[in-house]
Amino acid sequence: MSSIALVGNPNTGKTSLFNTLTSSYEYVGNWAGVTVEKKVGSLKNGAGKLIDLPGIYSLHPLSRDEGVAAQYLIDESPEALVNIVDASQLERNLLLTLQLLEYGKPTVLGLNMIDVAKARGIYVNPEILQKHLGITVLPLVARTGKGSGQVLSILEKTSSIPAVTFKLHYGELVEQAIAAIQHELQQTADLPNHRWVALQLLEQNPVVLELLSKRINISRLLEICDTCQTELQNKKLALTLPQWIRSTRKEYIHSICLEAVDTTAQKPHNLTEKLDSILTHRFLGLPLFLVFMYAMFKTTFDWVGGPLSDIVDGWISGPISDSANSLLQTIGASGFTHALIVDGIIGGVGGVVVFVPQIFILFLMISFLEDSGYMARVCLLMDSTMERMGLNGKAFIPFIIGFGCNVPAIMAARSIEQPKERMLTTLLLPLMSCSARLPVYLLFAAVFFPAQQATAVMSMYVLGVIFALILCKLFSKHLFKNESSVFIIELPPYRMPQLKTLGRSTWEKGKGFLRKAGTIILAGSVIIWLMSYAGPTGFNVDMDNSFLAKFGGLIAPLLHPLGFGTWQAGSTLVPGFLAKEVVVSTMNIIYHTPDTAGLESQISQVFTPLSSISFMAFILLYIPCLATVGVIKKETASWKWTFFSMGYSLVLAYMVSFIIFQGGSLLGWS
Amino acid sequence: MASTSCSLLRLQPGSTGSIYRIEGMNPILRRRLADLGVSEGVMIRLKGKGPFLGPITLECNGQLFAIRRKEASMIEVNVS
């Protein structure tokens, strides 16, 4: 099986093409709009594997996801490359193309978005491009799948793709340096194309530098680079070597584009201009964004998600529980098995599955925002606020994704260029209410604030955001050196997201939740149920004498000042660390209620409106779940920061809940 | 035709200038701009200014992007 890499600038439609060319995923680290980790799929015709790399402008990485792409090309050796370029942005896109051609692997150029380009009056002649670059150029419309059949048939036999013969002359001085470096590299095995390595070295690509320094002594190579740069400076040709290489490439590209691209009829993006004049308006922009957010939450919780959840709840507490009951009776299951299945599994997992519709709707809307191009505008609108807090507007995307799940959100922080800002975003992301915390809010809001459910839930989200902003200010002032914050963001043209792509990305995001329901939550429910079923005196004990009650009772005194010092509340918090979804399943088990109505009536007796707010705030802030902790460790590569993120959130949760409950009590609330 | 150079920020929204000099900019940002094809001699258009002294929107080579005002003030343009 051959492996083929898909490479290109951000927003050129790589993922759309990937979706039309592949039938199945093998590995996914992606959500709509942003590929953060390479994604592997099988080509539809069975010819091999296709690897979707993160969007990059050049092989010289600035942010971490660009590093992933560069690393891939160096470490692994794909048999062929598919370079996808945006026909309306050809001049910029070809800079990467040249670097890829120098890489020397058989390459196919996908000239994408020819429809968009044509609509804007830009005509690209693929034959002329093909002639100059010496590779196959295929016009494409990846969004509709036009032209993808041809790509697929070319990739059928990678060995038949002609080898790349492209070679750009960088001037005598640089060519001498290249030859000298190539000479030095002769003895080193397993390197990509030596001319490419030499050029990347001259461009001071840190990834290539690191790779080489692990294998060989590079001092001689660096010397060649330095000499070459000094000579360029002496002859007043360029200030730096990378600058010289870049401008040589740019001149060449410009000359090709003069021939191949006809822009005489070019028109501006009318729709984008019109939409931007409203959506990024100085005064209207932010209020409109808040209205959209409110509508998003209303749809998720009140208008669509709520009713759907009720239907699912009806199935679980009705037909599913009933048929399980009668089935178990017919086969004569023991009391233990019966209770395990009905109370433990259906109660525990069912209590969480109820929220699946809401979670999928939330993911669907986040995907819509990403695909439409609005998300980039939101970053723009939020930048001045975020800057005051020591972050930049780009950090806002991870924060919004964090509402879905903190894990991909932390990975999305990779698109932030500045290390300090990346770290801050990673540390603060757990304060975003992920979909797992949602069931807790929904449950308590339904019991105590039935008239203002959406508002109550949304205020928890807002609370998280406010704390993130405050802590951000605090951390950026006291924990990090005065690294300045930078902000630059591309604004892609607005487009109507496609149903198929939306469906696929929503499913990709929501799938994790279902998988968790089937694994961690199932296991958690069974363990919790067992602990509630068994006690020091044996099985089937009264719940108050169970192991769970004993265990929860240990923590309860600590929680007393927060207003929920019961063993029930205490025993939901520890498993909640595994996955926050387990909090609700634990409650279902503790209160012996397979349906929502029963649980709600139990909770209304144990909690008060004030203690429910305190509890919700605690659930919002306390310790990130295990999966999040794992990804924080992976992204920060530091135990110190990982423990820091766990510690500060626990302290914060305790303080905030304490203030809410004690403060509220003093004011005479209950 | 008289041409004067001024900071990009001084452009009226909707008007165009050619980049004359970029100086003193954060190197990360400078590289990113170069990736987008923003360099000396290129035509650049100021599309709009964001709310609360937020970033300004620019167009260069048909690509829309946004940077902060502080950085935009380091780009000098020629207006003819």
Answer yes or no: is pLDDT of A512 > 80: no
Q: What is the pLDDT of residues A192-204, one digit of tens each?
A: 889 999 999 999 8
- Complex ipTM tops 0.95: no
More confident residue, A242 or A517: A242
DSSP states along A468-493:
HHHHHHHHHHHTS--PPP--EEEEPP
Q: How confident is the model at residue A26 (pLDDT cuts 50, 70, 90)?
A: very low
* Rounded Cα distance, A458 and A460, in Å: 5
pLDDT in the model for residue A190: 79
Quick check: helix, strand or coil at residue B45? Answer: strand
Mean pLDDT, chain A, rounded, equals 86
User: B45 vs chain A: nearest CA distance in angstroms?
Assistant: 12
| Cβ separation B35–A58 shorter than 8 A | yes
Contact in structure between A523 and A401 (CB atoms under 8 Å):
no
> Considering only CB atoms, which chain B residues are within 8 Å of A238?
none
How many CB pairs below 8 Å do chains A and B form together?
100
Which amino acid is residue A218, in one-letter code?
I
Q: Which neighbouring-strand residues pair with A123?
A: A262
Q: What is the pLDDT of residues B24-80, one digit of tens each?
A: 888 888 888 988 888 888 899 999 887 778 899 999 888 899 999 999 999 999 987
Mutate to test the interface with B, among A257, A483, A486, A489 (most CBs of B within 10 A): A486
Answer yes or no: is pLDDT of A650 > 90: yes
Answer yes or no: is pLDDT of A614 > 90: yes
Question: Does B6 contact chain A (CB < 8 Å)?
Answer: no
DSSP states along A45-75:
TSSEEEEEPPP-SSSS-SSHHHHHHHHHHHH
Nearest in space to A281 (alpha carbons), one of B61, B22, B28, B13: B13
- The pTM of the full predicted model, rounded to 2 decimals, is 0.78
Phi, psi for A497 (deg, rounded to 5): -65, 150
Q: How confident is the model at residue A37 (pLDDT cuts 50, 70, 90)?
A: low
Nearest in space to A574 (alpha carbons), one of A637, A638, A527: A527
pLDDT in the model for residue A107: 93
Q: What is the pLDDT of residues A458-494, one digit of tens each?
A: 899 899 989 998 999 899 888 887 677 788 888 888 8
Query: From residue A340, how far is each of A439, A522, A589 by CA, in Å?
Result: 23, 11, 10
Residue A344 per-residue DSSP state: I
Residue matched to tokens 């792509």: A501
Nearest chain A residue to B13 by CA distance is A277
- Domains of chain A listed by start with CATH number: 2-160 (3.40.50.300), 172-262 (1.10.287), 288-479+505-666 (no CATH)
| Cβ separation A490–B54 shorter than 8 A | no
> Considering only CB atoms, which chain A residues are within 8 Å of B61?
89, 91-92
pLDDT in the model for residue A128: 94
Report the residue count for chain B. 80
* Rounded Cα distance, A279 and A273, in Å: 10
Mutate to test the interface with A, among B42, B64, B67, B71 (most CBs of A within 10 A): B64
* Rounded Cα distance, A380 and A276, in Å: 11
| Cβ separation A418–B28 shorter than 8 A | yes
Helices A499-518 and A520-533 meet at what angle, rounded to 10?
30
Mutate to test the interface with B, among A93, A383, A396, A495 (most CBs of B within 10 A): A383
More confident residue, A425 or A313: A425
How many beta carbons lie within 10 A of that of residue A114, not counting itself? 20
